[in-house]
Structure 1
Amino acid sequence: MKQIFFFLSVIVLLSACKNNGEYKKVMHDPILFSQTVHELNGIVMGNNFSPVVATRNYTYASIAAYEVVAAGNSKYHSLADQLRGLNTLPQPTDAQQTDFPFAALLAYCKVGSAVTFPEGSMDAYVDALKQKAKDAGMPSKIFDNSVNYADAVADAVLDWSKKDNYAQTRSASKFTVTQEEGRWVPTPPMYAQAVEPHWMEIRPMVMDSASQFRVPPPLEFNMKDTNSEYCKQVMLIKNAIENLTPEQEEIANFWDDNPFKLNVNGHVMFGTKKFSPTGHWQSIIGIAAQKANADFDETVYAYTKTSIAMFDAFIQCWDAKYTYNTARPETVINKYIDPNWRPLLQTPAFPEYTCGHSTVSSAAAEALTSVFGDNFSYKDTTELEFGLTSRSYPSFRAAAIENNWARFYGGIHYHSSCITATEYGRKVGDFVANKLRMKEGEDRVAPAADTTHYY
């Protein structure tokens, strides 16, 4: 009888180990986290959020997931007291009976769907995650503890997010358009109002203020003197667009990342959607993490660090945009040279200087370089779902430099603006990557090589 009882006990124990191993294999898969980010990315795209607002969704959601990971892995440090206004976060009541990757997924979804959306936009996806955990054999106690801990961290992050001045900027004054030469005015075909003119008032994550990395003034507007530096930049972009090579057009379209393009064909108008600039980089993070064979926790870490860098980079850039309020090339060329000239890409509805996409791309490149190292080659397959071919890069910094040219090839930014944006986005990314202490053993990131190749 004792032998039978012993063998039954062994069978039960082996079965339990098998179940534990099964649910961990399923729920701890780093690709599952990237799939969850992609799910939020699709929701953001579907709701036409501007690039800056989209970044807010990704960043707070990633922070919630990261805080859960940090609570379960001593290699990672909480961002409490590292990010502005973020204080002590909840700790698990029973760490031994909590599945932290599963909780991180749930926390990400709860925050991501609540930051700017009506709550519940990811409910169906969350239900599927929970069912996946149950089907994989997650014990009920661990399941319940994980759900409860995810809710606690998500609620704390959401409470913190509500103090970043976003709500106040919803009712702030609209941008006032003036007829002063060289100042921004709405552009065709939408002639939309200026997007988020108060975004520089959003609380930064790591920077001291929106103006900490204030860019120098743009070139002085001067279309009367054909030898002025400003006029030279205007003619440079006009001539470039009129003589684009197929490769240059491909580069511009690959990095277009227009969350809502208005297509006009006679009396017919319809919109097409793509991932925003930060949505594109969310995809790149996942591609890099998978190539690096990063585990679940490191994958969350990469998303979080990069998102924070882009969050602050957009605040820095919007401070520049609405400090100087410069006109777009399309506006200047139409008024002074050719009323029928159009850029390759649709001009976004905010001032020209500096370039937002170049700013956040160079900031993201610095953050990702700090995680995966320089000279990390990868193939960017992000645009396949939008009918574009993939492009390969020898490093994240190389991708950011190509993006620099892409905005010029698109006809929406002077190249001098892209150069400044890239340099200052890099400053923000370097600052965030080196100031945050997120992972044990992090070293200071070596600065990029010379910037002469920007030209």
Structure 2
Amino acid sequence: MKTYCLLARTVALLFAAGIVACKKNDALVQSIPGTSGQLAVSTLPAGGEIAVPVSWYNLELKLIKETPGFSPPVAARAIAYTGITLREAVLGGMNGAPSLGGQLNGLGRLPAPERGKKYNWVIAGNSAMAQIIKSLFANAGSGNIGLVTQLESDNQQAYAGSCSPEVISRSVSYGRLIASAIYQWSASDGGKDGYLNNFPTDYTPPVGPGYWVPTAPLFQRAMLPYWGKNRPIVKFSASDSANIPPPAFSTDTASAFYKAAYFVYRKGQTLTPEETIIAQYWADGGGTFTPPGHLIALTAQLVTDQQLSLGQAANLFAQVGIGLNDAGILCWKYKYKYNLVRPISYIHSNMDSSWTPLIATPPFPSYTSGHASFTSAAGHILAARFGSNFSFTDNQKVPEGFTPRSFSSFSQMIDEASISRVYGGIHYEYDSETGKLTARSLTQKILSLNY
């Protein structure tokens, strides 16, 4: 009862900040911030250990939405290091599971708990997540940093009654030690200051037929042109992800390139109501929790719906986060290797200068699709955990007026999120198809690690 009351107090405080909804039927009803208002995640069992990490993802997604510079790849990076930190901080309670230290790219041996000493792994994970989130969101507003401090305190109090002050202190110290080690490792990956410099002024895009051009008037520079050079979290070589070029650029009406662009053009003129909804549902554009945020929100929903243990949840959060980060790096590598023209630019030059896509075109090249890459990575990891034919409903956009979207499999979700960008008029079909394929090959490396 004490644990429940303290968690309820946490919920009340977060509600005041606009993060969490309310108590209902003796359970904690969590929510995640999205484009407008809160997005329901799921109902958590009162006092369940997974309430702690889920509460941190709730807050992290609020930070992604409200902290300057957290574009999709930058958000994916933060989500990844948060998940790895959680997993390593609670590792001592995972029945002898191996550390990711020595398995991930550039990550050495991590601090180990003291032999023969007692720890509360929920408290360790809580403090670790608090510290890593503060470090990753160094430019967050003071109000949100205050929420981080408050959430750490409230979560700790919720579990403090079951152990001595010495165990609490030891657990807190260990969690922070893990967070410091993970952050130090993260700082050398090339993306540490990405949120400060999404549009570097020293990048000049190539010029010529078929090359990407900025889409005026909103965007005049390329976003994160060097992101593809970042160190991925999982070690993979060029042979691990096939180099698949886009169709050869051509303005010939009989060419594959022209036909692909014409499909986007005609689809934009003939969208059905359902196709329009799909495009808008998956948009997750500026000012939202981003596509990677949408997918980690879904992960949090499934973790709670399926009542995973703390260790199981920590593994899954780490795997999905790694997939999102590395899919973003791989996708951006493709984007600035090929610098492919966006459909709007091609259509205006070769078909119809007055055509307008449903969704605003982002400020980076077309090939491959970020949505397809992110969703394929997360979807295949979730399928590995819950099953290829696992049915589920995504509730993330209900407060924005969308009907929950139900899927009979993760593959169906991947396909829908991917084609949504074609419906939106901002990607060719092959952008999405290649994004799905390359991200799937990446997830095979992630799932092959020893957990």
Q: TM-score range by the shorter chain?
A: 0.7 to 0.9
User: 1:102-251 counterparts in 2 under 5 A?
Assistant: 102-118=123-139, 121-134=144-157, 137-138=161-162, 139-167=164-192, 174-209=202-237, 212-223=240-251, 225-251=252-278
Is the 8 Å Cα contact of residues 130 and 152 (structure 2) preserved in structure 1? no
Q: Which residue of 2 aligns with 1:413?
A: 427
User: 1:35-434 counterparts in 2 under 5 A?
Assistant: 35-48=55-68, 49-93=70-114, 96-118=117-139, 121-134=144-157, 137-138=161-162, 139-167=164-192, 174-209=202-237, 212-223=240-251, 225-258=252-285, 260=286, 273-433=287-447
* Cα shift at 1:177: 3.1
* Cα shift at 1:375: 1.2
SS at match of 1:392: strand
Is the 8 Å Cα contact of residues 130 and 149 (structure 2) preserved in structure 1? yes
SS at match of 1:411: coil
Length-normalised TM-score, structure 2: 0.84
Is the 8 Å Cα contact of residues 365 and 429 (structure 1) preserved in structure 2? no
Q: Which residue of 2 aligns with 1:14?
A: none
Is the 8 Å Cα contact of residues 323 and 446 (structure 2) preserved in structure 1? yes
Q: Residues 156, 238 of structure 1: CA spacing in aligned structure 2 closer, same or farther, 3 A cutoff?
A: same
Is the 8 Å Cα contact of residues 379 and 393 (structure 1) preserved in structure 2? yes
Post-superposition CA distance 1:377-417 (Å, at most 9, x none)? 11101112433221011122210011121111111100122
How far apart, in 1, do the equivalents of 2:175 and 2:442 lie?
Answer: 30
Q: Residues 126, 310 of structure 1: CA spacing in aligned structure 2 closer, same or farther, 3 A cutoff?
A: same
How far apart, in 2, do the equivalents of 1:289 and 1:337 lie?
Answer: 47
SS at match of 1:220: coil
How far apart, in 2, do the equivalents of 1:206 and 1:29 lie?
Answer: 28
How far apart, in 1, do the equivalents of 2:262 and 2:151 lie?
Answer: 55
Q: Residues 135, 302 of structure 1: CA spacing in aligned structure 2 closer, same or farther, 3 A cutoff?
A: closer
Is the 8 Å Cα contact of residues 66 and 300 (structure 1) preserved in structure 2? yes
Where does the alignment leave 5 or more consecutive residues of structure 1 unmatched?
1-17, 261-272, 439-455
* Cα shift at 1:290: 1.8
> Over aligned residues, Cα RMSD in angstroms?
2.4
* Cα shift at 1:213: 1.4
* Cα shift at 1:28: 4.8
Q: Residues 210, 118 of structure 1: CA spacing in aligned structure 2 closer, same or farther, 3 A cutoff?
A: farther
How far apart, in 2, do the equivalents of 1:63 and 1:357 lie?
Answer: 23
Is the 8 Å Cα contact of residues 108 and 154 (structure 1) preserved in structure 2? yes
Q: Residues 287, 19 of structure 1: CA spacing in aligned structure 2 closer, same or farther, 3 A cutoff?
A: closer
How far apart, in 2, do the equivalents of 1:84 and 1:236 lie?
Answer: 41
Q: Residues 72, 329 of structure 1: CA spacing in aligned structure 2 closer, same or farther, 3 A cutoff?
A: same
SS at match of 2:53: helix
Is the 8 Å Cα contact of residues 232 and 325 (structure 2) preserved in structure 1? yes
Equivalences, count:
406
Length-normalised TM-score, structure 1: 0.83
What's the % identity of the aligned pairs? Answer: 29
How far apart, in 2, do the equivalents of 1:99 and 1:21 lie?
Answer: 17
